[in-house]
């Protein structure tokens, strides 16, 4: 029996399994995916060890295994949590979308100013946290004192085809303050909920209180 014959036979006998694998990876490529979050830049919303569900059809539909757009399905909105493959950071990042194209964004002592209007904040669960209001999205942000925090920047205008993103853990996040605006083509999808969470500091035991927690 030749190698070609053996391979053909293997494909024929396992075609159902192989088709399922292909569909699974195609679905993760174009429709929905889940990502493990390794850092705390989005605390307290997302913590290390969370595995989050990402809707990859939230903004556009792509040909599986490529970045070729088939059709646009929506627009990123202020307050969304987006997943993107950052060329400048050479990494996949998860951040809060703060500025859409045309927005004028500034920060003064960790208070955002969007289009000339100061964003509203309320006291949170503890002294380090506050509730931030971005349009209709209310979410928690965290302010931990660090040396040389980038808690101020002059007004910038978000260019067309780009977005400004920040981590909810404001003083401990590498985001647009470090890497600049995010091109729309780099955004892979919108994070919706925590599927599973494992605590690396406690023998990777599950944090059951975080399972299926909505993010938006």
| pLDDT at position 9 over 80 | no
The pLDDT value recorded for residue 48 is 96
Q: What residue spans of the chain are helical by DSSP H?
A: 3-13, 15-30, 176-179
Q: What is the pLDDT of residues 109-150, one digit of tens each?
A: 999 999 999 999 999 889 999 999 998 899 999 999 998 899
Tell me the Cα Rg of the chain.
Answer: 20
- Residue 170, burial from CB neighbour count under 10 angstroms (0-12, 13-18, 19+): buried
Residue 186: which residues within 8 A CB-CB, separation 6 or more? 84, 85, 86, 87
| pLDDT at position 2 over 90 | no
The pLDDT value recorded for residue 207 is 96
- Which residues are marked as active site? 41, 95
Q: What is the pTM assigned to this prediction?
A: 0.85
Query: Could you tell me which of 118, 36, 123, 45 has the C-alpha nearest to residue 80?
Result: 45
Tokens (6 digits) for 61? 């539909």
The pLDDT value recorded for residue 68 is 72
Q: How confident is the model at residue 206 (pLDDT cuts 50, 70, 90)?
A: very high
Mean pLDDT, all residues of the chain: 87
Residue 112: which residues within 8 A CB-CB, separation 6 or more? 98, 105, 106, 118, 119, 132
């Amino acid at each position: 029996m030749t190698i070609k014959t053996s391979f053909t036979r293997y494909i024929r006998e396992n075609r159902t399994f192989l088709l399922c694998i292909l569909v699974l990876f195609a679905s993760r490529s174009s429709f929905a995916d889940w990502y493990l979050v390794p850092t705390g830049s989005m605390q307290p919303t997302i913590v290390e060890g969370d595995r989050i569900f990402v809707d990859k059809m939230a903004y556009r539909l792509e040909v599986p295994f490529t970045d070729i757009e088939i059709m646009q399905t929506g627009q990123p909105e202020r307050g969304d949590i987006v997943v993107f493959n950052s060329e400048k950071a050479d990494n996949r990042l998860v951040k809060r979308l703060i500025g859409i194209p045309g927005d004028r964004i500034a920060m003064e002592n960790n208070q955002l100013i969007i289009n000339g209007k100061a964003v509203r904040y309320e006291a949170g669960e503890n002294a380090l946290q506050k509730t931030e209001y971005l349009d209709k999205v209310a979410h928690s942000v965290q302010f931990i004192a660090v040396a040389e925090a980038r808690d101020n920047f002059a007004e910038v205008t978000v260019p067309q085809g780009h977005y400004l993103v920040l981590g909810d853990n404001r003083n401990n996040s590498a985001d647009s303050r470090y890497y600049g605006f995010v091109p729309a083509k780099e955004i892979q999808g919108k994070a919706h909920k925590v599927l599973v969470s494992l605590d690396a500091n406690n023998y990777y035991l599950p944090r059951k209180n975080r399972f299926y927690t909505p993010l938006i």
